[in-house]
Structure 1
Amino acid sequence: MSALGASLLSAAAGEKDRPAAERTLLRTAARRLREADAETLSAVSTDAALAAAFADRPRASLGSVTDWLTLTVERKRAGVGSWYEFFPRSEGAVRRRDGTVRSGTFRTAIKRIPGVAGMGFDVLYLVPVHPIGQTNRKGRNNTLVTEPGDPGSPYAIGSPDGGHDALHPELGTEKDFRALLRAAQKHGLEVALDLALQASPDHPWVSEHPEWFTTLPDGTIAFAENPPKKYQDIYPLNFDNDPAGIYAEMLRIVMHWVGLGVKIFRVDNPHTKPLQFWEWLIAQVRSAEPDVVFLAEAFTRPAVMRALAAVGFQQSYSYFTWRNTKAELEEFLTSVSHETSDYMRPNLFVNTHDILTEYLQFGGRAAYRIRACIAATAAPVWGVYAGYELIENVARPGSEENIDNEKYEFKFRDWEGAEERGESLAPLLRRLNEIRRSHPALTQLRNIAFHWSDDDSVLVYSKHLDGAFTGTGRSDTVIVVANLDPHSVRETTVHLDTRIWGIQPGDGFEVEDLITGSIWTWSDHNYVRLDAFAEPVHILRVKERS
């Protein structure tokens, strides 16, 4: 063994990129090893200076050189943020005496911005703000019959007033849109715009570029379908006939809005377009504007969702909305935090304008509290759709979406009154976003660790960040204990692996409930009582020992 060690040291001493003094040290050590007595072997093997030399510059043999790789460093909002979705046309809308509605505008929507900012959100996401087609316009609750004044779905983009680069005239002008952007920025919010690459039958593209659509044998253009849903008011794009023309037009549209100040896009149904298109488009946009962020709204097969993330989408909708049991949540959160975290960032939306799950429909206020607490703490990015704070949980019969869906009509909400009456969850959402800002452990995706409880309805996980990475020098640990049953009180024992945050099993430590302010002394085994009708979730800060 001494001969092998001497050979290794001699080879290292021959490396010309090492300092001269270090090479001398290595040659001397190699010569001493050849003496082969036990005392010398021990002295060389425990030499601190020798160990430091190898720690700084390890001996590399049989090395190979790879091609240069590109490292992309993205801004914080690409991976951390709280989203709030709303329809500008509903904010400030007025019902006339004849029953029709005067649309809200960008200017009236500005009045809602302080309320959204006051809840601590970072991103204000607007559904499409473009002209809406008249042909096959959908009426209330997705009917095929419209009444006078029905605004139609904002996803049926395009009319004689313009297409994807135009603003709906009832919402206002480009000047008004810029005023909305400035107001949002003033309140610490960044505006995200919905990018829905599809057209109403009245879109200028239909007459100018009929080759961009699929023509059926009877000469009609195929409308969009996502069984069992049908979208008679929307024509999907066909990328096969003129890919170069479509690619160029889509890039022009995105850069138009980037030029107006939009740097975040929520992309509608990206899985219905070619992957190579998204890879090309995102690369083109980011080569000119590196700060642009794309969120993929793709509720489809896992392989396709992951592929979209791999080709460049910084964030992705996920199956979170349909994962409600303890087993489902542990499996889902383990997957997104460990299996796909190298390239896919989940945005845990608790609901959308199209999704109202059975859990929310029948779980009442407790269900809304539980889902918000988990979404806000389990991943660095989460979001809500307007009305969540008002517990809007009545579904259209036979569907998984709200009755009187805002996608097809105006909504009138009493935000301030609901909060004054204690009916709104705005205070909880505000507190959750405050907690997120105060705890760097919650800005990380990969650091989630699951613990145990004796009750299958009680979920337990922690997020820990060592002091070397918090920016404060002090470690940060948050423990979440959630009663997943919105209809009961649960009493159980939770079992923690406290070694994760440096506390030996059996040792006591203090925790503070960040929702209620209560302080308890915990150890690795703890009794908990979670009342779904009062406080169904503990969000606990582990207090560092002085």
Structure 2
Amino acid sequence: MTGRADLRLGISDVAPVVSCGTFSARAVVGEHLPVTATVFREGHDAVAANVVWTAPGEDDATAPFVRMAKLPPEPDRWLATVVPDREGRWSYCVEAWSDPLATWRHAVEVKVEAGQGPEELANDLEEGARLLDRVAEVADEEWRGRVTAAAAALRDTSQELTVRIAPALAAGLQRYLHEHPVRELVTRSPRYEVWVDRREALYGSWYEFFPRSEGPVVGGQPTHGTFATAADRLPAVAEMGFDVVYLPPIHPIGTVNRKGPNSREFPGGNPHEIGPDDVGSPWAIGSAEGGHDAVHPQLGTMEDFRAFVDRTRELGMEVALDFALQAAPDHPWVQAHPEWFTTKPDGTIAYAENPPKKYQDIYPVNFDNDPEGIYAECRRVLQVWIDAGVKIFRVDNPHTKPLNFWHWIIWDVKQSHPDVLFLAEAFTRPAMMHQLARIGFTQSYTYFTWRTERGELEEYGRELATNSHYMRPNFFVNTPDILHESLQFGGPPMFKIRAVLASMMSPTWGVYSGFELFEHVAVKPGSEEYLDSEKYRLRPRDWDAAEASGRSLAPYLRRLNEVRRAHPALQQLRTLHFHAVDNPNLLCFSKTDPGSQDAVLVVVNLSSHNTQIGTTSLDLPALGLDWHERFGVTDELTGAHYDWGQFNYLELDPYREPAHVFAVSFPRQVQFPPPVS
């Protein structure tokens, strides 16, 4: 025989569980985490369940009693919500048990309703009294007397039946018994882990820019920026409401086979053939000036970088740094450890390719060659930047490295630095993206960039919400590599549309600089690469002139981030819920926060060229309301107020305002449905 013989009662389909418990589920500090299970037993006696929710470093003796409640419409599905209050490795299990007090109460109520008298109920009354005796033995002083009195009343044959049972069935005592039950046949599920990160693992607004492009323009020519000049950009980023400043690699850049503007290749790779403006790709890491543990000398020194990090913190933000495990041909690794790379039959080292793209300036690391040495070096490099104040790493192309490497290094780091976060930049097949999330990545890039129609946005949003117990999305509207055709041809309204979708649908979103200036020209038709890509050249921007002339989206981005900060509902993923609209060019969704009773309702015109009209058919129970109820909404973008119900007329002109972001005002106290699939 196989299986567990100790499962006296039935427990199945416990959630959240990742890969049958092989990996930890995820949550953040203060998040309302739903725990569900199917619990059942033989016969008709009552069954109940609770969650044993154990904090890091503690045992079950200190775990609070968290009773589960039935979760309609499934008769055997149970739910409890737990809220972690600190980072670290939490654990939980579900306990199912026979509930003799509930069985007794049901039996007595049914028999009394059927007209049975005290003689017929004699055994039932004594059974109830004995159960209360058991409760009284462990009750606190405040309740012991009431429990004992209720037991005595059940045994008092001088009183009428209703008088005898009334104390035991009183609402106050029943609430106490609900929290202090008699538990029999206690059966435990396996124990499952939940890794709890700091809040920024779930919620944040990212802004990506290249420090080297923040130098002054002298005589019409850009000059290489430094950490000091880049720090001058930080107040404007903070003013837009961003939390995370993401920097591409800041290391020395290789000179061999360096790429020029618009990815031009230089035959022979002779450094003397490279022009003064040809700064190369930051992802071609390493030269004679150093490797992954060094700072590009034109940016400054390590002390200058630390000062940049400190300035970012002063402004209420933090730095995320690119962690790209690849090397330029002149990286010190290539000379010291040629075995770390793949050697072709002709004796040359293989460069990176993604046909038709060729990256002769980058050598991929072969993790099957000397894994012990490579692992140790990668861990050492991470520690260098953690010591410099970096707590977030955006990992470049993790899907091209072994899964077991990422599982090892992420959790090795978290043992000593639990607040360090890892973002997977893996635009690849779904199976790999999901597995990277399961094994430990804190956040994931997503397919959002390529989801533009209502049906695919709804489908993808539901998928992410359903898998939110291990996969957290980061919706970037653009990246240095990705200028989607919707932005190339959609005009300024499309920039607003994509910003609203990213910032409202996902608790974490990101913007690559230049988005606020409506940069939209591709290097060639059909390409998603920018013309004059910043990956290969300095690209200074006149931010002040753009904002002074009104040709900047910065005020709009600032307002979106203000709304996100003001509404806890927008900082959630699990509660994302889509509502029906009779126009396929209109998308409607809501988010709720159970802790604050906050709700936001968003409607977006997906067409950037035409006004769209339609009528909503809102799922009001998803907002905690009955179908007939009315409620108030206030547009956080325009300040307009409306009285809404289930059906509401909409008209959105993309050139005026392509979206409504409604704060919901409820007519009464509501209870949102649990965020479970």
Fold-level similarity (TM above 0.5): yes
Whether 1:364 and 2:491 are equivalent positions in the alignment is yes
Whether 1:19 and 2:142 are equivalent positions in the alignment is no
Letter of the 1:453 counterpart: V
Closer, same or farther: CA 131–11 of 1 in aligned 2, 3 Å: same
**Alignment match, 2:351:** 223
**Alignment match, 2:411:** 283
Provide Cα deviations, 1:432-461, integer angstroms capped at 9, x if missing partner.
Answer: 001011111111111111111110000001
> 1:51 Cα shift?
2.6
Provide Cα deviations, 1:515-542, integer angstroms capped at 9, x if missing partner.
Answer: 1111222222111110111111111112
**Alignment match, 1:106:** 227
**Alignment match, 2:259:** 138
Letter of the 2:279 counterpart: P
Whether 1:197 and 2:325 are equivalent positions in the alignment is yes
Q: Which of residues 510, 531, 536 in structure 2 aligns to 1:383?
A: 510
Q: 8 Å contact 1:7–1:30 — kept in the other structure? A: no
Provide Cα deviations, 1:461-491, integer angstroms capped at 9, x if missing partner.
Answer: 111224xx12xxxx32211110001111111
Q: 8 Å contact 2:135–2:147 — kept in the other structure? A: no
**Alignment match, 1:346:** 473
State the secondary structure of the residue aligned to 2:138. Answer: coil
Provide the rounded CA distance (Å) in 2 between the counterparts of 1:452 and 1:29. 58
**Alignment match, 2:98:** none
Letter of the 1:311 counterpart: I
Provide the rounded CA distance (Å) in 1 between the counterparts of 2:563 and 2:322. 28
Whether 1:332 and 2:455 are equivalent positions in the alignment is no
Closer, same or farther: CA 55–177 of 1 in aligned 2, 3 Å: same
Q: 8 Å contact 2:410–2:440 — kept in the other structure? A: yes
Closer, same or farther: CA 7–236 of 1 in aligned 2, 3 Å: farther
Closer, same or farther: CA 388–4 of 1 in aligned 2, 3 Å: farther
**Alignment match, 1:452:** 580
> 1:220 Cα shift?
1.1
Provide the rounded CA distance (Å) in 1 between the counterparts of 2:467 and 2:661. 26
Provide Cα deviations, 1:309-363, integer angstroms capped at 9, x if missing partner.
Answer: 11111111111111110001100111111x2100111011111000111111111
Residues 267-306 of structure 1 aligned to structure 2 (within 5 Å) = 267-306=395-434
Q: 8 Å contact 2:253–2:286 — kept in the other structure? A: yes
Provide Cα deviations, 1:35-62, integer angstroms capped at 9, x if missing partner.
Answer: 9x98589758734465334311333333
**Alignment match, 2:100:** none
Provide the rounded CA distance (Å) in 2 between the counterparts of 1:138 and 1:33. 94
Q: 8 Å contact 1:5–1:30 — kept in the other structure? A: no
Closer, same or farther: CA 49–119 of 1 in aligned 2, 3 Å: closer
Letter of the 1:537 counterpart: A
Provide the rounded CA distance (Å) in 1 between the counterparts of 2:145 and 2:344. 77
Q: 8 Å contact 2:129–2:154 — kept in the other structure? A: no
Provide Cα deviations, 1:178-212, integer angstroms capped at 9, x if missing partner.
Answer: 12112111111111100001111111111111111
Range that drifts further, 535-544 or 76-85:
535-544
Residues 115-130 of structure 1 aligned to structure 2 (within 5 Å) = 115-130=236-251
Provide the rounded CA distance (Å) in 2 between the counterparts of 1:529 and 1:333. 24
Closer, same or farther: CA 67–147 of 1 in aligned 2, 3 Å: same
State the secondary structure of the residue aligned to 1:72. Answer: strand
**Alignment match, 2:184:** 61
Provide the rounded CA distance (Å) in 2 between the counterparts of 1:331 and 1:418. 37
State the secondary structure of the residue aligned to 1:134. Answer: coil
> 1:13 Cα shift?
5.2
State the secondary structure of the residue aligned to 2:185. Answer: coil
Letter of the 2:209 counterpart: F
Query: Bigger radius of gyration, 1 or 2?
Result: 2
Q: Which of residues 636, 641, 649 in structure 2 aligns to 1:519?
A: 641
> 1:78 Cα shift?
1.4
> 1:66 Cα shift?
6.2
Aligned residues with identical type, % of pairs: 51
Q: 8 Å contact 2:151–2:168 — kept in the other structure? A: no
**Alignment match, 1:249:** 377
Closer, same or farther: CA 111–17 of 1 in aligned 2, 3 Å: farther
Letter of the 1:281 counterpart: I
Letter of the 1:46 counterpart: L
> 1:503 Cα shift?
3.8
Q: With the length of structure 2 as denominator, give the TM-score of the two structures.
A: 0.74
Range that drifts further, 146-155 or 156-165:
146-155
Residues 524-539 of structure 1 aligned to structure 2 (within 5 Å) = 524-539=646-661
Closer, same or farther: CA 136–499 of 1 in aligned 2, 3 Å: same
Q: 8 Å contact 1:212–1:242 — kept in the other structure? A: yes
Whether 1:210 and 2:333 are equivalent positions in the alignment is no
> 1:431 Cα shift?
0.3
Provide the rounded CA distance (Å) in 2 between the counterparts of 1:5 and 1:446. 46
**Alignment match, 1:500:** 622
Range that drifts further, 166-175 or 16-25:
16-25
Q: 8 Å contact 2:263–2:536 — kept in the other structure? A: yes
Closer, same or farther: CA 6–235 of 1 in aligned 2, 3 Å: farther
Q: 8 Å contact 1:192–1:265 — kept in the other structure? A: yes
**Alignment match, 1:92:** 215
CA RMSD of aligned residues (A): 2.7
State the secondary structure of the residue aligned to 2:622. Answer: helix
Closer, same or farther: CA 4–308 of 1 in aligned 2, 3 Å: farther
Range that drifts further, 523-532 or 124-133:
523-532
> 1:425 Cα shift?
0.4
Provide Cα deviations, 1:16-38, integer angstroms capped at 9, x if missing partner.
Answer: 97338489749948975999x98
> 1:232 Cα shift?
1.4
Q: Which of residues 522, 529, 534 in structure 2 aligns to 1:395?
A: 522
Letter of the 2:139 counterpart: P
Aligned residues: 536
Provide the rounded CA distance (Å) in 1 between the counterparts of 2:168 and 2:353. 71
Structure 2: runs of 5+ lacking an equivalent? 1-106, 109-122, 267-272, 669-677
Range that drifts further, 6-15 or 437-446:
6-15
Provide the rounded CA distance (Å) in 2 between the counterparts of 1:156 and 1:228. 18
Q: With the length of structure 1 as denominator, give the TM-score of the two structures.
A: 0.91
**Alignment match, 1:170:** 298
